[in-house]
Structure 1
Amino acid sequence: MRKFVVILAIALFAIPFLPQKSQALGLEVAAGVWSQGPSGDISYDGNLAPGTTLDIEKDLKYDKKTKLFGRIKAELPLFLPNIYIMATPMKFEETGSKNIPFTFGNQTFNANVPFHSKLQLDHYDIAFYYSLPFLKTATMGKLNAELGINARIIDLKAEITQNTLGISESQSFTIPVPMIYAGIQVNPVKFFSVELEGRGIAYSSNHYYDFIGRVKIRPFGPIFVAGGYRIEDIKIDHSDIKASIKFKGPFAEAGVQF
């Protein structure tokens, strides 16, 4: 995420100095905050036995967290695909308790003893997409639709520790997830637009869906402010981690668009 923030800052600083010809291609840079409300469950299977299914809210005690996110969208000329980059950090960390012993990985944790848990699920997207030919022109710029492919890099780490007993277990992995990307922008007037975008894939018993709805206002020049709602629905079984989790909540952002 730090690397993305640096790139974002450089891009924002450099925009005013771009030649007019480059700016005409289309560039959007934004940063904001998302209130991530988690729900669902997670388990980590050991070598000899399946892990205990832990409820995100009841057992791990996770609640809403507000995190920064950033995105860059560039429309390229000729037949080159347009590019959409987005970074979404996620991290939950709380102290929980369970009234029965439970297993996480190869470690069994004691009942009625507080435990500390961390769940990190940072993800980074890069999409290559095209706008549907002639739709924007035919509607005089009031409607645009996009379709393409998206690569999402998931950086996951799950850890549980009972400090009083000196026991701990964790698992981490980084995996790429190919997804379909689709977006729609409705611009009834110049300073106001409604946008919808989705990314998703389903395979075997796994799925990953990410939906964003956004209302955007341009008060003056290239500057815009926006608010909306985002929902992520994840069901994954990888490296003995099984998770069925949803994250949802409102977000707000600000940026520039040329």
Structure 2
Amino acid sequence: MAEPFHAAMQAAIEGDDAALTPWLSTPEAGLPGLAVYRNTIAKARADALAALYPTVARLVGDAWFRDAAVIHARAHPPGNPVMDDYGGAFADWLETFPPAIDLPFLAPIARIDRAWSEAHRAPDASVMRAADFAVLSSADLFGLRARLHPSVRVFWFDWTVPSVWLANRPDSDPRTAVVWDEQSEGLLLARPDGPVRHHRLSHAQWRFLDLCRQDLPLGQAAARLRLDRPTLDLSRLLTDLIGMGVFSGLQKEPLRYDNDL
């Protein structure tokens, strides 16, 4: 009887008052207890979502966020007991949530929050430094494919999403004025060692990393960049990216690892 009871208990917690009737002396006997369970679980889910999306929570305030979290949980209950994995659909859901229609920055901010959490929990890996590249000739280097560090997440937005995100992180100064504006910005999140770090990206840097993610050899990635930017200093671009700790290795064979940026 364990499995049917557990299934009935889950249904009851999700709102089916009659699910536990076969195990109760009267249909009403379990309602007070269910209310306690439901409130406790709703709070736990809201707390988990707030921890995973702290920038969104700060932007909208605790009351707004907790109401939204409860509504979201009803539509998207957790699929497993690991709460770090909870809320994967939250950003997409915000795009359809009526109270968020006039807050178009919330969904992209939620995607960065999610990416920060993913970068934080990404597997450890080696990090290539400038000295590792210095021993390679230009010919050898351009024929190799770059493997991005597992924690790397890159973004390019047509609006000032990164500025809004950075100004509303839990440790940011609340007095910082940020304008939601139609100005393109790029952002990198990575955890090469220690905490997750963020870096502003130029369009050329973002494009180069995107081409590396597509498994192009460094030479082909550089050639594509040169088509649009003939005067681009590729050596400087690569040096800056190496300094950000985005590369974990080089290889000749096609990469098997997908960074899911």
> Common fold, TM-score beyond 0.5?
no
Q: Which protein is bigger by CA-based radius of gyration?
A: 2
Higher percent of residues as helix: 2
Higher percent of residues as strand: 1
Q: Which category describes the TM-score, using the shorter chain as reference length?
A: under 0.3
